[in-house]
Amino acid sequence: MRELNVALIGYNFMGKAHSYAIGNAAFFFQHQVKPVKKVIVGRTESLLRKAAEEFGWQEYATDWKEVIGRDDIDLVCIATPTSSHKEIAIAAAKAGKHILCEKPLGMNAAEAKEMWEAANASGVIHMIGHNYRRVPAIALAKKLIDDGKIGDIYHFRGVYLQDWLSDEHAPMSWRLDKRIAGSGPHGDLNAHLIDLARYLVGDISQVIGMEKTFVTKRPKLADENQHRSASPIQLDDVTVDDTTSFLAKFNHGALGTFEASRMASGRKNHERIEINGSKGTLAFNFERMNELEYWSKDDDLEVQGFRTILATEEVHPYIHAWWPPGHALGYQNTFVNQFADFIQAIITKDQIQPNFYDGWMCNKVLDAVSKSIDTLTWEYIR
Ligand code: SOE
């Protein structure tokens, strides 16, 4: 079987998720190629060595430029903080490597556009890591919408709520530094909602938003792996939003509401969307990720009501590769589905979605929301 050598840049939360996917995609999905965990890349050698061992990488390296230049590397996964995506992705595209990049694609739409142009010009397969499109229940929602099951869409309602910053003593991290992350839950969580909205409903034309940073200073730990109870060296300024919400108008007329927060006590990874159409409604909550709620006007009035579809049947997207009915999937499996689709696109040479173009479009919406917060007016997505 032909081998596909992978370089993964980044070894924290997303690095672990991608390592799992790269290692398991060929196990569950039949492909003519076998991805090989060739080299994992990062800056801090002691942590990197440990990650290489734990996640099963053949080699580790601290110089991503040297790794991207290697002839034996076929594809590059970028799982680093947002500020480094552009330089790495453009270098990878120029070196002719296929690229899977974490979201948001760029720090802003201008960066994302450059990345899309470089990837498009080089002819490589490029993908952005919006793994939630690869949840079987979400892919099923897409199919039901395309089949006309909920009719014309009136509303998209999305909330993405986490609570890891609701404790005012929660420490500073790169995710709270605008120079590295670009923004807070806006780019981190609204980016996922925007991608799902574009996937399920269509393009957005206008937005208006609001944001707030509730806790403006947080303890800086010696390093991000230091235990929280250790005494902080100093307080650092938080330079990103703790929450951002916005209203949206879609091109074809639907209206949308979006809310992302890291301050929603009790909500851990509460990504909930609801889509109301002229013939029915679909609702999904990631915390019950194997289920899709469906209400249909076509049902007899006598039995009309929301039904919960357990999206674990062989007829449901991706499930043929997994387990018998009722044997549910988890978070890590969305990354396996994503990576399996990515490899398939490399084999067939068909461009995949969401790709860097979608990442660019998502960055445009993020930027327009931020601009609307400054101008206090509706902003067009141009
Ligand atoms: C943030 O907490 C985060 O890890 C995001 O960065 C991911 O994209 C999201 O899927 C889960 O939460």
Condensed to tens digits (0 to 9), the pLDDT of residues 294-343 reads: 999 999 999 999 999 999 999 999 999 999 999 999 999 999 999 999 99
Q: Is the pLDDT at 222 greater than 90, yes or no?
A: no
Q: How far is the CA of 200 from the centre of ligand 1 (A)?
A: 20
Check: pTM over 0.95? Answer yes or no. Answer: yes
Region 208-232: mean pLDDT is 81
- In angstroms, the CA 356 to CA 335 distance is 17
DSSP bridge partners of 257: 157, 247
Helix (H) / strand (E) containing 90: helix 85-94
Residue from 100, 138, 269 to probe ligand 1 pocket by mutation (most atoms less than 8 Å from CB): 269
Look at residue 221 in the predicted model and tell me its pLDDT.
84
Is residue 162 in contact with ligand 1, taking CB distance under 6 Å? yes
Look at residue 230 in the predicted model and tell me its pLDDT.
60
Is residue 30 in contact with ligand 1, taking CB distance under 6 Å? no
Q: Is the pLDDT at 233 greater than 90, yes or no?
A: no
**DSSP-assigned states of every residue in 297-342:** TTS-GGG-S-EEEE--STTSTTGGGS-STT----HHHHHHHHHHHH
Nearest residue (by CA) to ligand 1, atom 7, is 188
Q: Is the pLDDT at 382 greater than 70, yes or no?
A: yes
Dihedral pair phi/psi, residue 185, rounded to 5°:
-60, -15
Nearest residue (by CA) to ligand 1, atom 6, is 188
Q: How far is the CA of 246 from the centre of ligand 1 (A)?
A: 19
Instruction: Tell me how far the alpha carbon of residue 67 is from its chain's centroid.
Output: 25
Nearest residue (by CA) to ligand 1, atom 11, is 269
**Locate tokens 């159409």: which residue?**
277
282: left (phi over 0), alpha (psi -120 to 50) or beta: beta
Render pLDDT for 106-119 as a digit per residue (tens, 0 to 9): 999 999 999 999 99
Q: Residue type at 176?
A: L
Is residue 13 in contact with ligand 1, taking CB distance under 6 Å? yes
Render pLDDT for 261-302 as a digit per residue (tens, 0 to 9): 999 999 999 999 999 999 999 999 999 999 999 999 999 999
Whole-number percent of the chain with pLDDT over 70: 97
Q: How far is the CA of 257 from the centre of ligand 1 (A)?
A: 20
Instruction: Find the range with the poorest average confidence among 31-35, 135-139, 161-165, 203-207.
Output: 31-35
116: left (phi over 0), alpha (psi -120 to 50) or beta: alpha
Question: With contact defined as beta carbons under 8 Å apart, do 328 and 128 qualify?
Answer: no
Nearest residue (by CA) to ligand 1, atom 9, is 189
Q: Is the pLDDT at 1 greater than 90, yes or no?
A: no
Helix (H, G, I), strand (E, B) or coil at 349: coil
Is the alpha carbon torsion for 346, 348, 350, 355 positive or negative? negative
Q: How far is the CA of 189 from the centre of ligand 1 (A)?
A: 7
Is residue 188 in contact with ligand 1, taking CB distance under 6 Å? yes
Q: How far is the CA of 160 from the centre of ligand 1 (A)?
A: 10
Is residue 183 in contact with ligand 1, taking CB distance under 6 Å? no
Question: With contact defined as beta carbons under 8 Å apart, do 191 and 199 qualify?
Answer: no
Q: How far is the CA of 308 from the centre of ligand 1 (A)?
A: 26
Residues belonging to the chain: 382
Tell me what the pLDDT averaged over the chain comes to: 96
Q: Is the pLDDT at 229 greater than 90, yes or no?
A: no
Question: Given the CA of residue 129, which atom of ligand 1 is nearest to it?
Answer: 8
Token pair listed for 329: 């999937």
Is residue 102 in contact with ligand 1, taking CB distance under 6 Å? no
Look at residue 30 in the predicted model and tell me its pLDDT.
80
Closest by alpha carbon to 247, among 177, 323, 193? 193
- In angstroms, the CA 105 to CA 112 distance is 6
What residue ranges define each of the domains in the chain, with the CATH number in brackets? 2-132 (3.40.50.720), 136-288+290-329 (3.30.360.10)
Look at residue 322 in the predicted model and tell me its pLDDT.
98
Token pair listed for 162: 């986490």
Split at pLDDT 50, 70, 90, the class of 86 is very high
Helix (H) / strand (E) containing 179: helix 178-181
Q: How far is the CA of 14 from the centre of ligand 1 (A)?
A: 8
Region 339-353: mean pLDDT is 96
Q: Is the pLDDT at 223 greater than 70, yes or no?
A: no
Q: How far is the CA of 13 from the centre of ligand 1 (A)?
A: 9
Q: Is the pLDDT at 232 greater than 90, yes or no?
A: no
Residue from 138, 188, 366 to probe ligand 1 pocket by mutation (most atoms less than 8 Å from CB): 188
Q: How far is the CA of 365 from the centre of ligand 1 (A)?
A: 19
Dihedral pair phi/psi, residue 153, rounded to 5°:
-90, 130
Look at residue 231 in the predicted model and tell me its pLDDT.
64
